[in-house]
């Protein structure tokens, strides 16, 4: 890993061409396989490697903050909670720590909320470049009537959401109905208009890594700007084997089409050391270009608190209690 300067997390983004998709290529989809045992062996080796230390670790943790979709998706969300979360997105780490690290101006990558909270988040983030992402299409199950799911996307975009996290219909994958999945994804992409769309695969419910790989490819063919592991509500969410499977699908799609698609692991990533593992895997498999907010995000709620604790330890030499680093 290279030395990171403080401005690395704040560089103006090169505008990547959007993934306009390709026609559905069933021979390509059906030819995709996943060597589960090899994938699991590779994934199991990652956390045991010696990771970055000291100044390098602090820089990479600041990078992780810049790649976060800071999220609240609870039934008891209130406008006050969302405003506090947005304040945290604008100032994710205490000012004195950022000053000591030379990281003034650091923000999270986005705020992710339910549709009902989009106007509140847009208002709270006014004057910043932090986008609001809305979960949509009958999140988390994705089983409401199709016309209502499409209408929900339009409502969120009209309310100011710049990114839409949609959920796919899992049965299309489980039944191998790739045309239905492609058509669904294409309709949702069209409904998003200029807003970027993240396709949530709910990988814990797809049955196999081969299904994960094929679903990833079909969603990219249909125009997904990002593919995302999970809603965070499944029994199993983001894992390293699933991540390896999805990012290799992204790499293959880029090799064939020249189009870059983003990746978002979500659910279960709560420790700073886990974030470092994910970042190192992205760097190794996809390269530095994917370590920017337009191509990589963490779906995170509690992760930021642990990273802030690690940064305080780096600056002061002492660990503080978790309650001192509330998210909102």
CATH number at residue 126: 3.20.20.70
Burial class (CB in 10 A: 0-12, 13-18, 19+), 225: buried
For residue 238, what pLDDT is reported?
94
Residue of 92, 236, 260, 264 lying closest to 163 (CA atoms) = 264
Would residue 327 count as lying in a domain? no
Please, which residues bridge with residue 266 across strands? 299
Q: Which of 8, 165, 274, 306 is catalytic?
A: 165
- Asked whether residue 101 is domain-assigned, the answer is yes
| Measured distance CA(102)–CA(311) in Å, rounded | 12
The answer to whether position 238 is within a domain reads yes
pLDDT, residue 307, reads 95
In our burial notation (b when 16+ CB lie closer than 10 A, e otherwise), range 146-183 reads eeebbebbeebbebbbbbbbbbbbbebbeeeebeebbe
Contacts of 216 (CB under 8 A, 6+ apart): 201, 227, 245, 246, 249, 250
Q: How far apart (Å, rounded) are the C-alpha atoms in residues 213 and 242?
A: 9
Dist. CA 269–CA 299, nearest whole Å: 8
Q: Would residue 228 show up in a list of annotated catalytic residues for this protein?
A: yes
Interatomic CA distance for residues 175 and 165, integer angstroms = 23
Buried b (16+ CB within 10 A) or exposed e, 49-61: eebbeeeebbbbb
328 residues of the chain, pLDDT tens digit each: 334 443 454 444 557 899 999 999 999 999 999 999 999 999 999 888 767 888 999 999 999 999 999 999 999 999 999 999 999 999 999 999 999 999 999 999 999 999 999 999 999 999 999 999 999 999 999 999 999 999 999 999 999 999 999 999 999 999 999 999 999 999 999 999 999 999 999 999 999 999 999 999 999 999 999 999 999 999 999 999 999 999 999 999 999 999 999 999 999 899 999 999 999 999 999 999 999 999 999 998 899 999 999 999 999 987 776 656 666 5
Q: Is 52 helix (H, G, I), strand (E, B) or coil?
A: coil
Q: What is the pLDDT of residue 49?
A: 75
Q: Is residue 254 part of a domain?
A: yes
Query: Which residue range forms the structural domain that includes residue 64?
Result: 22-318
* CA gap 85, 249 in Å, rounded: 33
Residue 2's pLDDT is 39
In a domain, 11, yes or no: no
Active-site residue, from 69, 228, 274, 306: 228
Q: What is the spatial distance between Cα 210 and Cα 129, in angstroms, rounded to a whole number? A: 38
In the numeric block, which tokens belong to residue 28? 């390509």
**Crossing angle (nearest 10°) for helices 240-257 and 36-45:** 110
Residue with tokens 């039944």: 175
198 flagged as catalytic? no
**Is 15 part of any domain?**
no
Give the C-alpha distances (Å, rounded to integers) separating 171 from 125, 211, 225, 252, 313.
37, 11, 22, 25, 46
Q: Tell me how many domains the chain contains.
A: 1
In a domain, 69, yes or no: yes
In-domain check, residue 9: no
Q: Pick the catalytic residue: 8, 264, 274, 306? A: 264
């Amino acid at each position: 890993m290279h030395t990171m300067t403080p401005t690395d997390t704040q560089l103006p983004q090169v505008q990547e061409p959007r993934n306009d998709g390709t026609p559905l290529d069933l021979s390509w989809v059906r030819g995709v396989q996943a060597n589960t045992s090899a994938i699991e062996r590779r994934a199991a080796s990652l956390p045991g490697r010696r990771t970055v230390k000291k100044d390098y670790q602090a820089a990479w943790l600041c990078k992780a903050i810049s790649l976060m979709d800071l999220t609240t998706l609870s039934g008891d969300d209130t406008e006050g909670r969302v405003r506090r979360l947005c304040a945290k997105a604008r100032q994710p780490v205490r000012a004195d720590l950022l000053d000591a690290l030379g990281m003034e101006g650091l923000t999270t990558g986005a705020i992710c909320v339910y549709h009902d909270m989009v106007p509140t988040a847009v208002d709270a983030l006014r004057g910043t470049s932090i986008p609001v992402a809305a979960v949509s299409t009958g999140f988390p199950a994705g089983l409401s009537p199709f016309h209502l799911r499409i209408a929900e996307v339009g409502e969120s975009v009209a309310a100011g959401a710049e990114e839409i996290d949609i959920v796919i219909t899992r049965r299309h994958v489980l039944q191998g109905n790739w045309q239905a999945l492609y058509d669904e994804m294409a309709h949702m992409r069209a409904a998003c208009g200029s807003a970027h769309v993240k396709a949530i695969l709910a990988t814990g419910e797809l049955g196999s890594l081969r299904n994960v790989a094929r679903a990833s490819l079909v969603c990219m063919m249909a125009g997904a700007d990002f593919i995302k592991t999970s809603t965070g509500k499944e029994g199993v969410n983001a894992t390293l084997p699933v991540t390896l499977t999805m990012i290799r699908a992204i790499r293959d799609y880029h090799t064939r089409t020249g189009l870059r698609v983003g990746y978002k692991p979500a659910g279960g990533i709560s420790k700073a050391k886990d974030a470092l593992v994910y970042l190192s895997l992205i760097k190794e498999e996809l390269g530095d270009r994917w370590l920017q907010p337009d191509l990589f995000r963490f779906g995170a709620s509690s992760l930021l608190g642990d990273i802030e604790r690690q940064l305080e330890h780096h600056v002061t030499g002492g660990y503080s209690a978790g309650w001192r680093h509330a998210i909102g």
